[in-house]
Amino acid sequence: MPEKERSSLNKTISLSQKEIERLSKNLKHLNAPTKVKEIKNTTIHQDLFSAIKFLPENFVDLLFIDPPYNLTKDFNGNAFKQMSISSYTEWLESWFSSLTKILKPTASIYVCGDWQSSTSIHTILEKYFTIRNRITWEREKGRGAKANWKNSSEDIWFATVSDEFTFNIEDVKLKRKVIAPYVDDEGKAKDWNSTDDGNFRLTHPSNIWTDLTVPFWSMAENTDHPTQKPEKLLAKIILASSNKGDFVFDPFLGSGTTSVVAKKLGRNYCGIEKDKTYACLAEKRIEMANYDNSIQGYEDGVFFERNTGLTRTKSKKNITPAQEEMFFSKS
């Protein structure tokens, strides 16, 4: 991923060669059985297939999996090729079965896919776990098709190891604008609150998510990773299905979204990524979280609807001008 010329408004996080050299020193590589404390809050730069056997057992509270979907896609020179549904199911199984040992009996598992990958994910998950739900989220981006429906949705399957699991419903409520502000006989708001920004109601989150924005160039979290997930998506999952201090694990870390959001929300984390540039990008974002722990679309414990413009603009702390220049200046 060579450095690109960008407009001054473009906030995309990029890496210089010097940063890659510095950040790659933080990366782990496993070649012997490891203890939890050795991988806690780290990024493993390795092929998942060679790392799995060295991971500790029974330490993960929340497993977030965003594997290459069953589509042909280039990940910084490593192409993933679309295959038949049965071959993709076999590919999932080839690493999924050995990953189950890292989970605590109370763990939750989320697996991402598009409609073409969903059948395989369901097949594998039901073999090992109790499936609880399938979330569908709307992507705003997407190319129109000439003779098909535009592909604008993705799925996230939610499963648990047992019937004992964490689900913090109060932490994932959605703040929605009130269209009909009903009042009771005394003129008091029925189930909504009046604020300087308008009238809002806190609602229970459903399994249809329409409040997400896929990262793009003017968002502070954006990178050049081709399939980066929004931080807000991870925030919902991490807040609902883990508690502070829990361990969140991601075997296909990409640009690091899971680790970054876990850190911002006070969880422990570890991720595996086989591409060195992406692994360094993850490390850079994890460092940046020391200075800016905001999550676009989430503020003061509530999630906002998409594009309401009501989220906080800045929560950078203890930051020197040099750090500002290093982490947040436009490339």
Ligand X SMILES: C[S@@+](CC[C@H](N)C(=O)[O-])C[C@H]1O[C@@H](n2cnc3c(N)ncnc32)[C@H](O)[C@@H]1O
Q: Summarize as ranges the residues that interact with ligand X (CB under 6 A).
A: 47-49, 66, 68, 75, 78, 225, 227-229, 252, 254-255, 257, 272-275, 278
> Token pair for residue 316?
């950078």
Q: What are the C-alpha distances in Å from 308 to residues 73, 187, 212, 301? A: 32, 27, 11, 16
Residue showing the smallest CB distance to ligand X in the complex:
254
φ, ψ for residue 10, nearest 5 deg: -75, 120
Whole-number Å distance between alpha carbons of 59 and 102: 6
CB-based burial label for 233 (10 Å; 0-12, 13-18, 19+): buried
Q: Which is nearer to ligand X, 76 or 123 (CB)?
A: 76
Q: What angle do CA 239, 52, 222 make, to 5 degrees?
A: 45
- Nearest CB to ligand X, comparing residues 175 and 211: 211
CB of 232 to ligand X, least distance (A): 12
Min separation Cβ 250 and ligand X, Å: 7
Cβ proximity to ligand X, 96 vs 200, nearer residue: 96
Q: C-beta of 1: minimal distance to ligand X in Å?
A: 11
CA dihedral over 240, 139, 226, 283, signed as positive or negative: negative
- We find the least distance from the C-beta atom of residue 242 to ligand X, in angstroms, to be 17
Q: Which lies closer to ligand X via its Cβ, residue 176 or residue 232?
A: 232
CB atoms within 10 A of CB 244: 9
Measured from the CB of residue 174, what is the shortest distance to ligand X in angstroms?
A: 22
CB of 37 to ligand X, least distance (A): 22
Smallest gap, in angstroms, from Cβ of residue 202 to ligand X? 27
- Are the CB atoms for 147 and 220 separated by under 8 Å? no
- What phi, psi does 277 have (nearest 5°)? -65, -45
Q: Which one, 242 or 255, has the nearer CB to ligand X?
A: 255
Measured over the CA atoms of residue 55, residue 285, residue 228 and residue 4, the dihedral's sign is negative
CB of residue 199 to ligand X, shortest distance in Å: 34
Of residues 227 and 290, the one with the C-beta less far from ligand X: 227
Residues 6+ apart with CB under 8 A from 115: 151, 153, 155
Q: Which of 71, 92, 66, 89 is nearest to 81 (CA)?
A: 71
Looking at beta carbons only, is 49 or 217 nearer to ligand X? 49
Return the number of the residue (229 or 264) whose C-beta is nearest ligand X. 229
> Closest approach of Cβ 124 to ligand X, in Å?
16
Q: Which is nearer to ligand X, 4 or 190 (CB)?
A: 4
C-alpha distances in Å from residue 166, one per residue of 162, 205, 238, 251:
11, 16, 10, 21
Token couple for 295: 């999550």
Q: How far is Cα 42 from Cα 201, in angstroms, rounded to an integer?
A: 39
